[in-house]
């Protein structure tokens, strides 16, 4: 049995409260634990000359990648496509993230989009503002989510929460995940990319929600061909990454009526340019890549890191650890 990896120095650049940082300091004791801001360049550069572990409040930088002794990097974020580069894997660097800390909130955000479309809430608020008691028949003609088909791409923390809410709302739930896994009582049809399953069953759904990681494989997963095959009264909701959708193809599909609407929290270019057609489209809902926080969001990150420290010492795979399947070179 190999001996545990040496941990003499840890760099931490999280912008957390002192008590939260102290939890990590205790977990990594007796190692030297250097906590500073990412802007403290001198301290960061000096500490990286001897640190074996880097806990980053930012994405993986070239300076950290080139650090002589760093073996494990934890980025306090969900999407790690910025770190999933060939050079990261070539070096053998272990990289983990904080996916899951906001899963329930992201799923609720997605259903806020869905319910806003279903209830035509934008028009309802306009009528309320103008003191108009009208529109009842148009509202009654709309279909509730109950009985509709929900398609989810990705079955990590957020995808599982989406399926759970969809089941509670009486929807038929189809999931396309990357790798085969255990079944779920919240899912009617479970599909796997690695088992040879494709997007067709998802494209047949009334509401499509994206919750997968961004990689070369999922870059522009939804484009012109996929929108042509979707139902004309369907809506797509993107809580993943903007590059998961070919944005120009989406605009064309929305303008031509190939799909009915889109709820978008992420975009290929952020901030979304002020001259983007998406701003003025009545069948689009836009939020600025922001979701209300979980009350224990930071504690969830701490729990992942502390658990991963145990796994790291034992030579076991880390939670939320990326591998070469996650490689992203297209952005």
Structure tokens at 145: 């989510």
Omega of the bond leading into 30 within 30 degrees of 0 (cis): yes
Q: How does pLDDT run across 60-73, given as a tens digit for each residue? A: 999 999 999 999 99
Q: How does pLDDT run across 228-279, given as a tens digit for each residue? A: 999 999 999 999 999 999 999 999 999 999 999 999 999 999 999 999 999 9
Confidence tier at 4 by pLDDT (50, 70, 90): confident
CB 77 within 8 A of CB 60: no
C-beta contacts of 73-76 below 8 A and 24+ residues apart: 74/98, 74/305, 74/308, 76/14, 76/301
CA nearest 246: which of 264, 219, 269?
A: 219
Mean pLDDT of the chain: 97
Q: How does pLDDT run across 299-309, given as a tens digit for each residue? A: 999 999 999 99
Helix (H) or strand (E) holding 111: helix 103-118
Token pair 């952020």 is found at 270
Q: Give ranges for CATH 3.40.50.720 in the chain.
A: 9-100+295-326, 102-286
Token pair 């085969």 is found at 180
Determine the pLDDT at residue 15.
97
Q: What are the residue numbers of the active site?
A: 241, 270, 289
pTM of the model: 0.97
101 burial type by CB count under 10 A (0-12 exposed, 13-18 middle, 19+ buried): buried
CB 253 within 8 A of CB 224: yes
| Domain covering 102-286, topology | Rossmann fold (3.40.50)
With the CA atoms of 300, 88, 271 and 275 taken in that order, what torsion angle do they form, in degrees rounded to the nearest 10?
-150
Confidence tier at 3 by pLDDT (50, 70, 90): confident
Q: Domain 9-100+295-326 class? A: alpha beta
Q: How does pLDDT run across 71-118, given as a tens digit for each residue? A: 999 999 999 999 999 999 999 999 999 999 999 999 999 999 999 999
CB 245 within 8 A of CB 227: no
CA nearest 322: which of 86, 43, 30, 53?
A: 86
Write b or e for each residue in 35-48: b if 16 or more Cβ atoms lie within 10 A of its Cβ, otherwise e. bbeeeeeeebeebb
């Amino acid at each position: 049995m190999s001996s545990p990896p040496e941990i003499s120095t840890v760099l931490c650049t999280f912008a957390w409260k002192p008590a939260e940082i102290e939890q990590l300091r205790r977990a990594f004791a007796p190692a030297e634990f250097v906590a500073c801001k990412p802007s403290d360049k001198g301290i960061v550069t000096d500490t990286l000359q001897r640190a074996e572990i880097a806990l980053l409040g930012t994405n993986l930088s070239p300076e950290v990648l080139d650090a002589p002794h760093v073996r494990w990097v934890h980025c306090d974020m969900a999407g790690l496509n910025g770190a999933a580069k060939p050079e990261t894997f070539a070096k053998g660097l272990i990289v983990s993230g904080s996916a899951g800390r906001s899963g329930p909130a992201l799923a609720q955000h997605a259903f806020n989009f869905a319910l806003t479309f279903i209830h035509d809430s934008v028009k309802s608020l306009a009528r309320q503002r103008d003191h108009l008691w009208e529109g009842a028949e148009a509202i009654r003609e709309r279909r509730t989510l109950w009985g509709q088909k929900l398609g989810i791409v990705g079955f990590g923390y957020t995808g599982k929460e989406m399926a759970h809410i969809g089941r509670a709302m009486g929807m038929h739930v189809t999931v396309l995940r990357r790798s085969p896994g255990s079944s779920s009582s919240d899912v009617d049809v479970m599909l796997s990319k690695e088992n040879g399953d494709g997007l067709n069953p998802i494209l047949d759904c009334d509401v499509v929600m994206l919750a997968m990681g961004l990689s070369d494989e999922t870059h522009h997963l939804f484009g012109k061909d996929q929108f042509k095959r979707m139902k004309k009264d369907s809506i797509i909701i993107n809580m993943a990454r903007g590059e998961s959708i070919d944005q120009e193809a989406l605009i064309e599909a929305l303008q031509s009526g190939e799909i009915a609407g889109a709820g978008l929290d992420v975009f290929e270019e952020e901030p979304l340019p002020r001259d983007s057609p998406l701003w003025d489209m009545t069948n689009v809902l836009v939020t600025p890549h922001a979701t209300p926080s979980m009350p224990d969001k930071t504690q969830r990150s701490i729990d992942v890191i502390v658990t991963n420290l145990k796994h790291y010492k034992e030579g076991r795979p880390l939670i939320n650890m990326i591998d070469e399947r996650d490689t992203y070179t297209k952005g």
